[in-house]
Structure 1
Amino acid sequence: MGMVLLAAVVYFANPVQLWGRLQQASPWWLLAGFLASIASNVVSAWRWRAMARWLGAEMSLASSMRWYFQAIGLNVLLPGAVVGGDVYRAIALQRTGQAKAASNLSVILDRVSGLWMLCAIGGLGAAACASTLAPWLHLDIAVFGGLLLAITVLWLLLPGLLLLGLHQGWLSLPGAWLEPIRTAALSPDFVRQLLVQAASSALVQLLSAAALACGAAALGTSQEPQVWAFAIAPVFLMAALPVSVGGWGTREAAAVAALAPFGVPAVLAVGVGLLYGVFALGQGALGALALGLPARSQA
């Protein structure tokens, strides 16, 4: 489905013009985007390790980096967007002797942490772009911006309120497999751990937005920072849908829709999405190579 969608998007965006733009892309901006994308995933691996340790599963920083980039390689090669890599990370952690529930939950909650902050930053970006987006949607600018800000603030507070409820005992979790979450919420440093997840997730998304913006600059187009803060939400959420390989197709279609209100031509929007996919492809190649390295017995 993703490949069919990608072919359709490229066709309607004019493949001749798209190829010409890609050939003229600035190599320095491409390098900057690739490095920002790598930095984003390095922070993501560190965040996953912090989440795992909070839930009671131990692993070294080196192992978290190795397994995370191996997972990126699998995501590029396998259908299902991020699903294959996430399953691999959970299994890799379990094989070191860590508890199954903590290992699985560390991957699930790490992904949730990223999506939580992605939506929050996207909401703030959309509110900052209300003067452009509201007329596009035939809505009042003040109402649109104020409603988005209110929803985003509540969204940011939601994990803290849930953990506080578990910590205070007025919320309970069904099922023994969720016990690591309850234990984490009862830990004395749960507020600090939540702030660590929020800060690292914010840094991940900001670096990802920078990579997207560098790809656009490589093609000769630029937008205000708040535009990229908004655009990462639909672009990355669509890329994470388990209907394609590596997000190809869904990511480019989302880029066209998200950037259209700001006057970005479809050919450039598709190019931005493709370049971000190429950044992931490069890291996926590194991760695939890492799969062939000798396994370490120490996690």
Structure 2
Amino acid sequence: MVAMTAAVGARPARAAPSAARLRAWGRGAVGAVILVAIILQAGAAPFVRGLAAVSVPSVVAALLLTAAATAAAAWRWRILAGRLGLALTWPQAVSAYYRSQFLNTVLPGGVVGDVHRAVSHGRSVSQVAQASRAVVAERTAGQVVQIGLAVMVLVALGMSAYAPAVGIVLLAVVVACAGVVVAAAVSTRARDVVHRELDAVRTAFGTVGTVAKVVVASLVVVAGHVATFVVACLAVGVDAPPQRLAAVALIAVLAASIPFNIGGWGPREGAAAWAFTSAGLGAATGLAASTAFGVLAMIAVAPGAAVAAASAFHRRRATRAAAVEESS
């Protein structure tokens, strides 16, 4: 999300998507390297097993779970956008969120869809910077709740073996925050930017009721993704207690939020292989489950493709109408 903030925060609206795409392709390349390294190490068999495990019942379950998670995420976005003074209807929020998830799934980096969502909404209300803040706040809140939930669940289950994975994510957050603090300390301009963004955060999360709603929405989102991963585990035939499935699913879903991936693939597979090995289920099984999850996730956000196509059609039609009007 730091990269996304830089992409759409203080840049001109036209320049922001281009800069974000370049960074996304760079992060996607890292994800591709990770994925290739895993394939070379483990072979193609686990991935084939995961693909073959996808069935109609698992697809239906993924579609329903993703619909619930998307509705909750759209609600979270609407809450924070409204706090920042931005109009956003339910149909707009849900359709834009589906499109965002679809773009994040098929494009490298995992954030291009969010950048597009921010810029698109910002242009529709003539406030790109404020709309970008709403999207960054919404995604960041979701990740904070996800990390907190993972820590609490793993501690409650006594699964200390997974502590290093969560620790790495927390370390990355601390390093990012330290970078912001250092930049603010040495640069007056950076300090002004930090103060401005902190004011926006205080406005967005300014009431206890808002924070409670955002937390509830985020819990539903995480539960939907974790449940979808559990569906993938069951599809590939994983035989393990529910608490163990929940633990490995949390680790894999948490790793999927790392923005160094190619369409969601890369760190997720590495984390799944490690988590399944630590749980005594085998790395190959983890890779198979992660593969099934990746396929189910892509199918589940397919409605976003229709939204993206409709948006492109409307843009082309508006461009043609404008050209005809200018020529007449």
- 1:97 is matched by which residue type in structure 2? V
TM superposition shift of 1:283: 3.8
2:130 is paired with a residue whose SS is: helix
TM superposition shift of 1:9: 2.2
The corresponding residue for 1:124 is: 152
After TM superposition, the structure 1 = structure 2 runs for residues 31-46 of structure 1, keeping only pairs within 5 Å, are: 31-46=60-75
Asked if the contact 1:246/1:277 (under 8 Å) is kept, the reply is no
Rounded Cα–Cα distance in structure 2 between residues aligned with 1:26 and 1:282: 12
Match of 1:71 among 85, 96, 100: 100
Rounded Cα–Cα distance in structure 2 between residues aligned with 1:99 and 1:88: 14
After TM superposition, the structure 1 = structure 2 runs for residues 187-266 of structure 1, keeping only pairs within 5 Å, are: 190-266=207-283
- 1:200 is matched by which residue type in structure 2? A
Identity of aligned residues (%): 27
TM superposition shift of 1:216: 0.4
The corresponding residue for 1:159 is: none
* C-alpha spacing 1:24/1:129, structure 2 compared with 1 (3 Å): same
Rounded Cα–Cα distance in structure 2 between residues aligned with 1:95 and 1:266: 46
Match of 1:28 among 57, 65, 75: 57
Asked if the contact 1:70/1:287 (under 8 Å) is kept, the reply is yes
Rounded Cα–Cα distance in structure 1 between residues aligned with 2:200 and 2:33: 41
Rounded Cα–Cα distance in structure 1 between residues aligned with 2:201 and 2:31: 35
Rounded Cα–Cα distance in structure 2 between residues aligned with 1:30 and 1:10: 25
Match of 1:100 among 102, 117, 128: 128
TM superposition shift of 1:74: 1.6
- 2:273 is matched by which residue type in structure 1? V
2:309 is paired with a residue whose SS is: coil
The corresponding residue for 1:86 is: 114
Rounded Cα–Cα distance in structure 2 between residues aligned with 1:285 and 1:183: 34
* C-alpha spacing 1:125/1:259, structure 2 compared with 1 (3 Å): farther
TM superposition shift of 1:174: 4.5
- 2:136 is matched by which residue type in structure 1? I
Deviations 1:223-263 (A, max 9, x none): 34433443344323332223222221211111111222221
Deviations 1:124-178 (A, max 9, x none): 2211332xx34x58x9xxxx9xxx9xx9xxxxxxxxxxxxxxxxxxxx9953354
Match of 1:176 among 182, 196, 221: 196
Asked if the contact 1:2/1:249 (under 8 Å) is kept, the reply is yes
Q: Report the TM-score when normalising by structure 2.
A: 0.70
**Bigger shift: residues 47-56 or 23-32:** 23-32
TM superposition shift of 1:101: 3.7
TM superposition shift of 1:40: 1.4
Rounded Cα–Cα distance in structure 2 between residues aligned with 1:109 and 1:232: 25
Structure 1 gap segments, 5+ residues each? 152-171
Match of 2:142 among 93, 110, 114: 114
Rounded Cα–Cα distance in structure 2 between residues aligned with 1:45 and 1:104: 15
TM superposition shift of 1:88: 0.7
Asked if the contact 1:125/1:226 (under 8 Å) is kept, the reply is no
Structure 2 gap segments, 5+ residues each? 1-29, 171-191, 319-328
Q: CA RMSD in A?
A: 3.0
Runs of 4+ in 1 over 6 A off after TM superposition: none
- 1:12 is matched by which residue type in structure 2? Q
2:124 is paired with a residue whose SS is: coil
Asked if the contact 1:209/1:229 (under 8 Å) is kept, the reply is yes
1:241 is paired with a residue whose SS is: coil
Q: Choose between structure 1 and 2: higher helix proportion.
A: 2
The corresponding residue for 1:48 is: 77
Question: Number of residues paired by the alignment?
Answer: 260
Rounded Cα–Cα distance in structure 1 between residues aligned with 2:36 and 2:63: 24
Rounded Cα–Cα distance in structure 2 between residues aligned with 1:4 and 1:222: 31
* C-alpha spacing 1:218/1:180, structure 2 compared with 1 (3 Å): same
Q: Report the TM-score when normalising by structure 1.
A: 0.76
